[in-house]
Amino acid sequence: MTVNTKRLHVITWGCQMNVYDSGRMADVLAPLGYAPTELPEGADMVILNTCHIRDKAAEKVFSELGRLRLLKLAREAEGRKMILAVAGCVAQAEGAEILARAPYVDIVLGPQTYHRLPEMVARASRAAGAVIDTEFPAEQKFDFLPDAAAPQGVTAFLTIQEGCDKFCSFCVVPYTRGAEASRPAADVIAEARRMVDLGAREITLLGQNVNAWHGTGADGLAGLVRLLAEIDGLARIRYTTSHPRDMDDALIAAHAEIPALMPFLHLPVQSGSDRILAAMNRKHTADEYRALIGKLRAARPDLALSSDFIVGHPGETEQDFEATMQLIRDIGFAQAFTFKYSPRPGTPAAGAGMQVPEAEKDRRIYAVQALLREQQAAFNAQCVGLTIPVLVTGPGRHAGQIGGRSPWLQPVHAIGPVSLAGQVVEMTVTASHTNSLTAILKQERICA
Ligand code: SAH
Ligand code: SF4
Ligand code: F3S
């Protein structure tokens, strides 16, 4: 057994796939003696796992690097080393610029090469000068990652698919994560089993286009979910993020037929205007999205929906924006994420004419957020009085409290013993808030 003698601090931005990747990077470094630490002060290695999706996300990396440089210098003054690594999507997109702007960075690595971290760390420890690895190697990193993984807790993320071939006008993901690739069903099932052995009761399957999963050993995502649902001790399955174009009938049927598949779906639509959807290269209309939601709700009437919206895409007029507001009113979302369009270098929309002024984007995002907040509050309010199965995840924020998750992904707080963590228990909802529910235990245990 390796004795953990070095401290590793990881800072994560971006999507859930980055959260998963950060965990895996720590797993890869564990055999080298690195153990996670909460603070960068005193760390032997710091990894920034970055996001390039919007301009602000990328800028944060450079300000954090400036702060870490001071820590690194202070450590060097004591004759000790701090390896500073930049990973993730900013590293992939702007590797050279990072080294130009922050020459004190030791390692730059893209999302597809972190299985090679031990070798990079060895090189960085030996020599002066930065190590950069932003290839898309032919070998799939998953085949080279250790089986041993630190437990994630009662709820866990599992990446099953990576990359994107869709090329939406505004998005960097096809460039930073590369082409779509799916992991074989057998690998996914083996990893899910290990997660359950480590205490996971809910697994969220991840992919930039998770419902385009087409790995070997199962018939599409629906087939894979059916296989996972057979794992003993796995009470709940979710998946994110999906594209409307890949929402096939088999997956819709899975929502009707598989009790472990939770009645919550994040299905980004981005806009309610056909003109803008076409300009975005989303390859579906607003009415096709409405029809899809109709089918999903027919299959699973209690399905709650979440989405992503972008306001101010180039060419978006007041009328286009109104079409988005109308789509939101027509569908009714339980939750949603809203973004002001942010031009990303190298993407088609960034060079397009008719950019929307910032002040107009601000006005539109306030309006759309107000409407979505109202819908979220209404959705939460209708849960009051219901008795629902809650997966207890651990202690709550206050003494004596436990926290958990509803089937519809709402955080739930109740008074109760932490010993219930990992169990699905019935609770009666007594109050609703913007982002969460308060409930009381109905002592009975319904599922281990
Ligand atoms: N693969 C997923 C989401 C990827 S990124 C999908 O296709 O839905 C997450 C969200 O960030 C997107 O859904 C979009 O709403 C937002 N986003 C992506 N690029 C953006 C940009 N340039 N400006 C603003 N928001 C953006
Ligand atoms: Fe980006 Fe579009 Fe791919 Fe989603 S589907 S990751 S928004 S290019
Ligand atoms: Fe960001 Fe990369 Fe995820 S750009 S949203 S971290 S895929």
Ligand showing the shortest atom-to-Cα distance for residue 355: 1
Consecutive 10-residue averages of pLDDT for the chain (448 residues): 79 96 96 95 96 90 95 94 96 93 96 94 86 86 88 95 96 95 97 97 97 97 98 98 97 98 98 98 98 98 98 98 98 98 95 93 98 98 97 94 98 97 97 96 62
Q: Do 99 and 132 touch, CB atoms closer than 8 A?
A: yes
Report the candidate in 35, 31, 27, 42 with the shortest Cα–Cα distance to residue 8.
Answer: 35
| E-assigned strand segments in 134-283 | 155-159, 161-162, 181-182, 202-206, 236-240, 264-266
Q: What pLDDT score was predicted for residue 127?
A: 74
- Given the structure tokens 């939406």, which residue do they identify? 168
The best mutation among 52, 164, 347 to test binding of ligand 2, ranked by most ligand atoms within 8 Å of the C-beta, falls on: 164
Q: Which two tokens stand for residue 447?
A: 């599922």
Burial 364-396 (b: 16+ CB within 10 A, else e): bbebbeebbeebbeebbeebeeeebbbbbbeeb
Is there a contact between 140 and 162 (Cβ–Cβ < 8 Å)?
Answer: no
The phi, psi pair for 13, rounded to 5°, reads -120, 165
Q: What is the pLDDT of residue 448?
A: 46
Residue where the block lists tokens 């999903």: 296
CB 107 within 8 A of CB 131: yes
Cα 92 to ligand 3 centroid, rounded to whole Å: 11
CATH class, domain 6-133, is alpha beta
Q: What is the pTM of this model?
A: 0.95
Q: What residues contact 257, with CB distance under 8 A and at least 6 apart?
A: none
Specify the CATH number for 387-447; select among 2.40.50, 1.10.287, 2.30.29, 1.10.3470. Answer: 2.40.50
Ligand 1: lining residues by beta carbon, under 6 Å: 53-54, 170-171, 173, 208-209, 241, 243, 268, 270, 308, 310, 339, 341-342, 344
Ligand 2 site-directed mutation target among 52, 92, 243, most atoms within 8 Å of CB: 243
What spacing in Å lies between the alpha carbon of 352 and ligand 1's midpoint? 17
Architecture of domain 141-379: Alpha-Beta Horseshoe (3.80)
C-beta separation of 221 from 251 below 8 A? yes
Q: Rounded to the nearest whole angstrom, what is the distance from the C-alpha of residue 332 to the centroid of ligand 2? A: 23
Q: Taking the domains of the chain in order of start, what are their residue ranges? A: 6-133, 141-379, 387-447
* For the CA of 165, the nearest atom of ligand 2: 3
* CA nearest ligand 2 atom 1, residue: 171
Q: Going by CA atoms, what residue is nearest to atom 24 of ligand 1?
A: 341
Q: Is the dihedral of CA 204, 209, 212, 213 positive or negative?
A: negative
Ligand closest to 110 (CA) is 3
The confidence score (pLDDT) of residue 4 equals 58
The distance in angstroms from the start CA to the end CA of the chain is 33
Which of 339, 344, 358 should be mutated for ligand 1, with most atoms under 8 A from CB?
339
Q: How many residues does the chain have?
A: 448
Name which of 9, 34, 31, 5 is nearest 22 in CA terms.
9
172 lines ligand 3 (CB under 6 A): yes
pLDDT of residue 112: 93
Supply the pLDDT for residue 326.
98
Q: Please name which of 112, 175, 118 lies closest in space to residue 138, comparing C-alpha atoms.
A: 112
Q: Which of the ligands is closest to the CA of residue 339?
A: 1
Per the CB < 8 A criterion, the answer to whether 237 and 224 are in contact is no
